[in-house]
Amino acid sequence: MVLFDLPLDVIELIKDELYRLRKKNCMEEFKNEWVDRRPHYKLVTSGRETVHVGRSFLTTDLKKVSLINIPTKYYIGGELLSTYMKYGYEPNYRDTGGGMEILGKSRKKYEKMLNFCEDCGWADYPKSRYQDWYILLNYLIKKE
């Protein structure tokens, strides 16, 4: 049984033309819907900066959106590291980076990290009498 009595090349031409017309309409409808829902504005006014813009576009109430937290357990020299994200608002809301840091920074932990470098036999570690955590952590992460 044949669905259409048209040759395959004509069906292919119809399908291609229909795709082009529908694609143009879909993009216009999406842009209009994006302007109507204003997901960036909803994020800024709600204070839920950690929610992705696409999730705020798809939902009407951001209070019902649950945040996805994946616990990470990274240790360097026996000290727990935590991950963080930085956000900025210039010119639009976006994440500007992130990294890792040691929880509860203190002089004792800094000296413990320096001793860890010496115990491992690394002679090129940053020897500073001032607590420069950023340089020391980058060094340790690259070494391990």
| pTM, entire model | 0.44
Has residue 2 been placed in a domain?
no
pLDDT for residue 113:
84
pLDDT for residue 87:
65
Strands, E assignment, the chain: 74-76, 79-88, 94-102
Residue 95 has pLDDT above 50, yes or no: yes
Same domain, 89 and 43: no
- Number of Cβ within 10 Å of residue 12's Cβ equals 11
| Residue-number span of the structural domain to which 56 is assigned | 8-64
Domain final residue pick, 64, 88, 107: 64
pLDDT for residue 16:
92
The chain-wide mean pLDDT, for the chain, equals 78
Same domain, 78 and 96: yes
Residue 92 has pLDDT above 70, yes or no: no
Total domains present in the chain? 2
Domain final residue pick, 17, 35, 64: 64
Q: Which residue has the higher pLDDT, 78 or 44?
A: 78
Residue type at position 68: I
The predicted model gives 56-60 an average pLDDT of 78
- Number of Cβ within 10 Å of residue 23's Cβ equals 10
Same domain, 55 and 15: yes
Same domain, 29 and 88: no
The 10s digit of each residue's pLDDT in 32-53 is: 888 888 877 777 677 666 677 7
In this structure, the dihedral spanned by the alpha carbons of residues 12, 17, 19 and 24, taken in order and rounded to 10 degrees, is 170
Has residue 3 been placed in a domain?
no
Spatial separation of the C-alpha atoms in residues 112 and 125, rounded to whole Å = 13
The predicted model gives 69-86 an average pLDDT of 76
Residue 1 has pLDDT above 60, yes or no: no
pLDDT for residue 91:
67
Tokens of 82: 């935590």
